Structure 1
Amino acid sequence: MSRKKRVPLGDRVAIAAERALAARQFVSATDILIGIGWLDPGAVERWQRGQVACLEEVVQIDPPRIPEAMQLFQSWATATGLIASPTAYVDRTPQRRELRFSRSGDPGIEASYRTHWVSPQLSEAKRERLVEKASRGPELVVIQPLNMEWTCHRCGGTGNLLMMEPPGPACLHCVGLDDLEFLPAGDALLTRRVKANSTRYAVVVRFSRTRCRYERQGLLVEPRALADAR
Structure 2
Amino acid sequence: MQLSTRVRTIAETLVSRRGRVSFLEVLVELGWVHQKNVDSWRRGELDPLSKAVSVDDDKLLEAAEVFRLWGGSGFNLNTAPHVSATRDRRALRFTADRDTEWVHLRCSKADARPATDEKVPDLVVLEAREEFRCEECGSPDEWLMMDAGAAICMGCADLDHLVFLKAGNATLSRRARKESGLAAIVVRPDPRRRNRIWRVGILVEPAALDRAEQQCLDDEELRARRRVKDAERRELLDEKFMGQFAVEIRLLFPKIPAERADAIARHTALRGSGRVGRSAAGRALDERAVRHAVVASVRHEDTDYDALLMKGVPRQEARDRIWQRIDEVLTSWS
Aligned residue for 1:92, secondary structure, equals coil
Is 1:16 equivalent to 2:6 in the alignment?
Answer: no
CA displacement at 1:227 relative to structure 2? 3.0
Amino acid at match of 1:157: S
Cα deviation digits, residues 118-160 of structure 1 (max 9, x gap): 13354xxxx15x754x231x2222222343x222222222122
Is 1:93 equivalent to 2:76 in the alignment?
Answer: no
Structure of greater relative contact order (alpha carbons < 8 Å, 6+ residues apart): 1
Evaluate the alpha carbon distance shift between residue 142 and residue 52 of structure 1 in structure 2; reply closer, same or farther with a 3 A threshold: closer
Aligned to 1:42: 36
Is 1:82 equivalent to 2:65 in the alignment?
Answer: no
Q: Distance in 1 between matches of 2:153 and 2:42?
A: 19
Amino acid at match of 2:82: Y
Alignment of 1:207-218 (within 5 A): 207=189, 213-218=196-201
Most deviating of 50-59 and 22-31:
50-59
Cα deviation digits, residues 3-45 of structure 1 (max 9, x gap): xxxx211011112212322343311011121122222223222
- Structure of larger gyration radius: 2
Query: Do the aligned residues in 2 keep the contact of 1:144 with 1:161 (CA within 8 Å)?
Result: yes
Amino acid at match of 2:22: S
Evaluate the alpha carbon distance shift between residue 170 and residue 102 of structure 1 in structure 2; reply closer, same or farther with a 3 A threshold: closer
Q: Distance in 2 between matches of 1:52 and 1:167?
A: 7
Query: Do the aligned residues in 2 keep the contact of 1:159 with 1:171 (CA within 8 Å)?
Result: yes
Evaluate the alpha carbon distance shift between residue 86 and residue 153 of structure 1 in structure 2; reply closer, same or farther with a 3 A threshold: same
Unpaired runs of 5+ residues, structure 1, are 1-6
Alignment of 1:1-230 (within 5 A): 7-79=1-73, 81-103=74-96, 105-106=98-99, 109-110=100-101, 112-120=102-110, 122=112, 127=113, 132=117, 134-136=118-120, 138-147=121-130, 149-165=131-147, 167-207=149-189, 213-229=196-212, 230=214
Aligned to 1:4: none
CA displacement at 1:105 relative to structure 2? 4.0
Q: Distance in 1 between matches of 2:58 and 2:149?
A: 31
Evaluate the alpha carbon distance shift between residue 76 and residue 211 of structure 1 in structure 2; reply closer, same or farther with a 3 A threshold: same
Evaluate the alpha carbon distance shift between residue 60 and residue 71 of structure 1 in structure 2; reply closer, same or farther with a 3 A threshold: same
Q: Distance in 2 between matches of 1:210 and 1:54?
A: 25
Q: Distance in 2 between matches of 1:208 and 1:51?
A: 16
Evaluate the alpha carbon distance shift between residue 85 and residue 192 of structure 1 in structure 2; reply closer, same or farther with a 3 A threshold: farther
Paired residue total: 212
Cα deviation digits, residues 69-117 of structure 1 (max 9, x gap): 10101112223x22224434211211111123355544xx42x433321
Evaluate the alpha carbon distance shift between residue 206 and residue 40 of structure 1 in structure 2; reply closer, same or farther with a 3 A threshold: closer
Aligned to 2:269: none
CA displacement at 1:165 relative to structure 2? 4.3
CA displacement at 1:161 relative to structure 2? 1.7
Aligned residue for 2:94, secondary structure, equals coil
Q: Distance in 2 between matches of 1:204 and 1:117?
A: 32
- Identical residues among aligned pairs (%): 34
Query: Do the aligned residues in 1 keep the contact of 2:135 with 2:152 (CA within 8 Å)?
Result: yes
Query: Do the aligned residues in 2 keep the contact of 1:185 with 1:217 (CA within 8 Å)?
Result: yes
Q: Distance in 1 between matches of 2:142 and 2:107?
A: 42
Q: TM-score, normalised by structure 1?
A: 0.78
Aligned residue for 1:64, secondary structure, equals helix
Amino acid at match of 2:86: T
